[in-house]
Amino acid sequence: MSNDDKSLAHTRWNFKYHIVFTPKYRRKVIYRQLRKDIGKILRKLCKIKNVEIIEAHATPDHIHMLVQVPSKISISSFIVI
């Protein structure tokens, strides 16, 4: 197993997901203060749900996130915010 695997008593996991958030019609609206606010909100939600942000990047029309999700959280329950 690789060094970045997480573990519990009888399990090991390494769930990494590439997630892309886009505004409706992929409008170019993610600028300045909105970009900062979205970043704060996503970091706070990840902290609450014990999800590690490995890498993230925002562009005017979408946000990329590479996250590591614990095994006890399904990706669908993480995405529903």
The total domain count for the chain is 1
d(CA 10, CA 25): 45
Cα–Cα distances in angstroms (integers) from residue 63 to residues 29, 31, 46, 55, 59, in the given order: 11, 11, 15, 11, 6
Q: Looking at the domain assignment, is residue 26 inside a domain? A: yes
CATH of the domain at 47: 3.30.70.1290
- pLDDT digit string (tens) for 2-57? 567 777 677 788 899 999 999 999 999 999 999 999 999 999 999 999 999 999 99
Q: Looking at the domain assignment, is residue 6 inside a domain? A: no
Domain boundaries, position 66: 14-79
Q: Looking at the domain assignment, is residue 62 inside a domain? A: yes
Q: Looking at the domain assignment, is residue 5 inside a domain? A: no
Q: Looking at the domain assignment, is residue 36 inside a domain? A: yes
Q: What is the pLDDT of residue 81?
A: 57
Output the pTM of the full model.
0.80
